[in-house]
Amino acid sequence: MTRVEATKITSEDQHPGAMSVRGLTKKRGDHLLWADLHVDVSAGESLAITGPSGAGKSTLLNCIGLLEHADAGTIELAGTPTIGISRRRRRQLLRDTVGHLFQNYGLVESWSVDANLNVAFIGRRLTCQEKEGRRTSALGRVGLRGFGNRRTYSLSGGEQQRVALARLLLKSPLVVVADEPSAALDEHNVAMVLSVLDELRRRGCAIVIATHDVAIADWCTHRLDLAQEIR
C-alpha cells in the first residue's frame, strides 16, 4: 500500500499545538482516496496539502478538522487522540482546539458580524467589555472597523472571509484547518489571509491548508502532495 509522509518536522520543543496523523486511510465506496498517511505538523508550522482535483484534499482536512471520520488510522490534535472519543469530547475539541477556515466562511448570514464573532468566546469567561474590546481589535486587524452591527449577508464574499479570519484570531485555536482560503479572493484579501495565518502561526498554532494556490503552498513550511497517492 502506498505510503505518503510529509517532511518530518524536527522541532525539539514539541508544543501541544501539534497535529499528528498516523496510518490514515479513507475510501469513498470502493474508491481509495489515500492510504496510510503519516503527517506531523508542529506548533508554529504550516502544511500545504496539494494535489489534483478529487485527490481528497478537502476530505483529509475534514478528517483532521473532526468533521468526518477516516476509515483507519489515528489523528492527534494538541496531543489529544481524536479517534473513538465521545461526542462530548469531540465537541470540546471543536470548541477549544481546532479552528476552521472554509470556503463558505462558516458564518450565520442572518446574524450580525458581532454575533458571529461571539462564537469564538463560547466557553470563555469574559466580561461584555472584554468581548467588545477584543471584537473591535480583531475587526480593526482585518480592516473591518465599524462593521460589528452589520448583518453578515450584506457583506461581500471578501468581507465575510475577513469576518471569518477575525473570528479565528479571537478563537486562536491550537490547530487551524483551511480549505482553499484564497479561492475567489482578490490579491488584497489573499494577503490579508496570509497575514492573519502568519500571526496565528507565530502564536504557536499548527496550520493545515488544502490549496491549489502556489503562493499559499510556498508560504507553508511543509507540503504533502496527494498526487502521488494511489487512486
* Residues forming the site for ligand ATP (CB under 6 A): 28, 33, 51, 53-59, 210
Q: Considering the complex, state which of residue 18 and residue 55 has its C-beta at the smaller distance from ligand ATP.
A: 55
CB nearer to ligand ATP: give 105 or 147: 105
Alpha-carbon separation of residue 66 from 98, 110, 188 (angstroms)? 8, 26, 30
**Toward ligand ATP, which CB reaches closer, 58 or 152?**
58
- CB of residue 213 vs ligand ATP: minimum separation in angstroms? 11
Name the nearest CA neighbour of 41 among 197, 191, 168, 195: 197
Beta-carbon contacts of residue 219 (< 8 Å; ≥ 6 apart) = 46, 48, 194, 197, 198
**What minimum distance in Å lies between the beta carbon of 39 and ligand ATP?**
15
CB of residue 72 vs ligand ATP: minimum separation in angstroms?
17
Helical H segments across the chain, by residue range: 57-64, 87-96, 113-118, 128-141, 157-171, 187-202, 214-219
Task: Kindly tell me which of 46 and 58 has the beta carbon lying closer to ligand ATP.
Answer: 58
We find the least distance from the C-beta atom of residue 38 to ligand ATP, in angstroms, to be: 19
